[in-house]
Amino acid sequence: MARIIGTLSTSHIPAIGNAIAKGLQNEPYWKPFFDSWPPVREWLAREKPDVVVFFYNDHGLNFFLDKMPTFAVGACAEYVSEDEGWGIPTIPSVRGEPKLSWQIINGIVEDGFDPVMCQEMAVDHAITNPLLLMFPDAKWPVTIVPIAINSIQHPLPGPKRCFDLGRAVGKAIEAWPEDKKVLLIGSGGLSHQLDGSRAGFINKAFDTECLEAMVSGVEPLTKYSALDVVEKAGAQGVELMCWIAARAAMQGDVKELHRTYHIPISNTASAVQLLSHSRAAETAKAA
């Protein structure tokens, strides 16, 4: 059976891709963020996940205001990187894991969700930047399953709905009969607002609450509505829903292996957090 081995949550700011392309990783502005990644890459090299399931938000590449699904699941054999307007260099295409995609789609439909099923899907910086941060050589040792969560067009799915989605996805993964290691990624956040009268808004106290909840269990965050999150984290801080869904998919006790939090990167409170699954740790120890 498939095993969920951990959850990695990270900011995915477009400027990260430009910094990588221009070799700015050691400049003072960028160094605190990029210094977050060597421990993550060491863990990846040791644990060797087979599949990465991304909970992320599409930035107008596949969906726009005229057609915006609440949830969409990629079921492609290959995902092509496309520039959605930030001038970020594209990356080599990434192999999909269609069998797991359909396992997840069937499972979450049975659990009361109605996802858009995408057999053609491009990927933007919400996926390409984390991939480059994990595997800087752009030689992808993993396949991926993208799960898009609407964070643009109201009404937005709130923390409770995204928590329930994560639970359903996790159950479907663990029922997948393939003997593969699965890593969950929550891509986006934390608090930030890019426009309007609150442009540049950052809420360190709420970010800290969320980071702590990722360790102890994110169910307490479901007391908030989607509009509560907009108020507390900013209009774009609702990317937190991706973190909640990813963490909810990993049940049981977890261990926090790594955490960094840095203000600001491109008007965003950036964070990187790695959690391991207790059952994965027990299996590795027994082996």
Q: What is the 3-state secondary structure (H, E, C) of 259-281?
A: EEEEEEECCEEEEEEEEEEHHHH
User: Domains of the chain, with CATH numbers?
Assistant: 3-286 (3.40.830.10)
Helix (H, G, I), strand (E, B) or coil at 227: helix
Indicate yes or no: pTM above 0.85.
yes
State the average pLDDT for the chain: 93
154 is catalytic: no
pLDDT of 279 reads 58
Distance CA(87)–CA(258), nearest Å, equals 31
Q: Specify the residue for token string 């507390």.
A: 232
pLDDT at 146 over 50: yes
First-last CA distance in the chain: 16
Cis peptide before 69, with omega less than 30 degrees from 0? Answer: no
Q: Which of 125, 258, 262, 277 is catalytic?
A: 125
192 is catalytic: yes
* Section 263-284 average pLDDT: 78
Q: Which of 59, 192, 262, 277 is catalytic?
A: 192
pLDDT at 285 over 60: no
Write the pLDDT tens digit of every residue in 70-98: 999 999 999 999 877 777 788 899 999 99
Distances, alpha carbon 23 to alpha carbons 8, 34, 40, 81, 220, in Å: 24, 11, 20, 20, 40
Strand partners, 74: 118
